[in-house]
Chains A and B, each alone.
Chain A
Amino acid sequence: MTRVVLDPTSERTPAQRRRLARLATLAGQRIGLLDISKARGDLFLDRLEQRLRERGAEVSRYRKPTFTKPAPPDLRQRIAVECAAVVEALAD
């Protein structure tokens, strides 16, 4: 006999969102660097900024208030408006 149970999950079929096309070049593009406020993450991002600038990219730096919580919507919105791409670095 077939047994029937109730689905304990969110029943969410993940919305299939297409990724943005990969940037063809870094030159002239604004790249966001998001510091999540973990210790020494800034050192890593400093180096990344230097390397990106060497390749002709513009760099904007952002920082979220605490690494323990998701970035506030306003900050996410600002990054989306201002940048062509963003690097969010998790340091541990």
Chain B
Amino acid sequence: MAASTQPLAPSLPSGLVAVVKRECPTCELVAPVLRELAGRASLVVYSQDDPSFPEGLSPRDDTDLAVSYHHRVETVPTLIRVEDGVEVGRAIGWQRDDWERLTGLTGLGAGLPDWRPGCGSRSVDPDVAPDLAVRFEAHRLAARRVEIAEREDEAEAFFARGWTDGLPVVAPTERRVLSMLAGTSRAADEIVATVPPDLVPVSVEKVAINAVMAGCKPEYLPVVLAALEAICNDEFNIHGVLATTMPVGPILIVNGPIRRRIGMNSGINVFGQGNRANATIGRALQLVVRNVGGGRPGEVDRATHGNPGKTSFCFAEDEEGSPWTPLAADFGAAPGTDAVTVFAGEGPRCIVDQLSRDPESLARTFAVNLRALHHPKLVLAFDALLAVGPEHARVFRQAGWSKERLVARLHELLQIPGRELVRGAGGIAEGLPESVADATLPKFRPGGLRVVHCGGGAGLFSAMIGGWASGAVGSEPVMREIRS
């Protein structure tokens, strides 16, 4: 089906233009002022609800809101000055000073109060605005239209077309996609990234379609866009992350004020279900990889086991309760920056320590657990993300341990004698070549261990998340700032 044809944006006549509605008391109040203006200048009035209002001014009918919508009228009355068909200024509500400055006339509205706020324009009424967007903006959407037949079940139609991750999706209608696009100031046709494995350039619009399907709200879209930029590059290497037989997927960690603004969870059940932003932002990202990039399990995705987080693994750091700087700062983000960091990781596993009350003891607990990551005899091959819970973090806060000190201590504790790592040691064939027997090797490369603070306020637990092949041969964590 072809996209709807483009309606022309109505142009405004030169002179003064007023947009009003009878339902608005301030518009009633200024009706005499408008009659006064009509006598002293060239004035055209548009009425949003009653073409006979204001009496005596022959108002033009804007009950279809075409003028109000195209000229972004948010409040009535709005008085606009137009020269040669171009707007040169506007006054909103009734404010004598503003009206006099705009019109170049004095003594307007004698007897009226100096100031009255206006009312909301009908064109921004939440019940009306989405329909206007469809009517006036749908032609801008470039995506192919797909018809769902009358007797076809909507949810089933999307499963049948292979567009879902195994869970139902929200139908990406023009109305919903336009609402989603309102969540960003970026143009719908802007190319965000080139998505592996098919190396398809993806537009903001195409991301918005998949974000609708994932269940995102429009205010989540900037996070999805930033995350997509973060995974589609040679450093993060989403192609390899997708194709590997290991159980990893992109994990999204969000920092900055946007966490609170969009209601993300950084507390109780932080990795679990129940929070819409956490659940749908990561899902939207994966749907883009699937639907646009063509990355599907059993095809390019060759994971032996995968992990449930490959549907969505996205969470916020608890910055307010943290003794440390945010994760994004470790990658160079300024304080207070909205940012998303992506890490190629598996599912989280719990570290229990309910007795340590000094930082050295607790660091040792972390170290022995981290040592076992992927295999106790394999070192330098994988990164890790250590998610310290608030009750564990308190131990470090009280002892004055910075994040840098904790990480440095963990690196010290994770220096492992080569003799324990070589093939055959411990009766286990897996391991490193005999040549490292006399060396001491670190479990993690420098920068290979990252720390984030999150989780509920009760429970002396932390969590560790194993990574994939680290560094240039595999994947580097990547941070991107979130642009509105």
Contacts and interface: CB of A to CB of B under 8 A. Distances in A.
A92 B174 CA distance: 45
A5 B200 contact: no
Interface string B241-276: 001110000000000000000000000000000000
Given A68-B244, A69-B237, A69-B240, A4 B146 contact: yes
A74 interface: no
Chain B CB within 10 Å, residue with most, of A6, A65, A68:
A6
Contact of A69 (B146, B150, B239): B239
A11 B150 contact: no
B13 interface: no
B237 A3 contact: no
Contacts of A50: none
Nearest to B474: A68
B206 interface: yes
Given A6-B177, A9-B163, A68 B237 contact: yes
Interface string B350-385: 000000000000000000000000000000000000
A7 B473 contact: no
Contact of A5 (B171, B198, B245, B473): B171
B110 interface: no
Interface string A19-58: 0000000000000000000000000000000000000000
B146 A7 contact: yes
Contacts of B305: none
B420 interface: no
A1 interface: yes
Contacts of B237: 68-69
Given A11-B143, A69-B237, A5 B291 contact: no
B213 interface: yes
A8 B150 contact: no
A66 interface: yes
A8 B287 contact: yes
Contacts of B210: 8
B145 interface: yes
B148 A8 contact: no
A49 B142 CA distance: 51
B144 interface: yes
A6 B173 contact: yes
Contact of B147 (A2, A10, A65, A66): A2
Interface string B265-296: 00000000000000000000001000111100
Given A11-B143, A69-B237, A69-B239, A6 B174 contact: yes
Contacts of A1: 150
B141 to A, nearest CB: 6
Nearest to B302: A92
Interface residues of A, number: 18
A11 B146 CA distance: 11
Contact of A7 (B144, B173, B244, B245): B144
Contacts of A11: 143-144
Contacts of A12: 198, 200
Chain B CB within 10 Å, residue with most, of A9, A11, A70:
A9
Nearest to B206: A8
B87 interface: no
Interface in B132-189: 141, 143-150, 154, 163, 171-174, 177
Nearest to A69: B240
A26 B205 CA distance: 50
B429 interface: no
A69 B240 CA distance: 6
B479 interface: no
A61 B171 CA distance: 50
Interface in B204-237: 205-206, 209-210, 213, 234, 237
Contacts of A9: 163, 291-292
Contacts of A65: 473
Contacts of B200: 10, 12
Contacts of A70: 239
B8 interface: no
Contacts of B177: 6
Nearest to B4: A4
Contact of A68 (B145, B205, B240): B240
Interface string A62-92: 0001101110000000000000000000001
Contacts of B145: 4-7
Interface of B: 1, 141, 143-150, 154, 163, 171-174, 177, 198, 200, 205-206, 209-210, 213, 234, 237, 239-240, 243-245, 287, 291-294, 469, 472-475
15 contacts: A1-B150, A2-B149, A3-B154, A4-B145, A4-B147, A4-B173, A5-B148, A5-B172, A6-B141, A6-B209, A7-B146, A7-B209, A66-B473, A68-B469, A68-B473
Closest 4 CB pairs of A and B: A68-B240, A6-B143, A7-B144, A10-B200
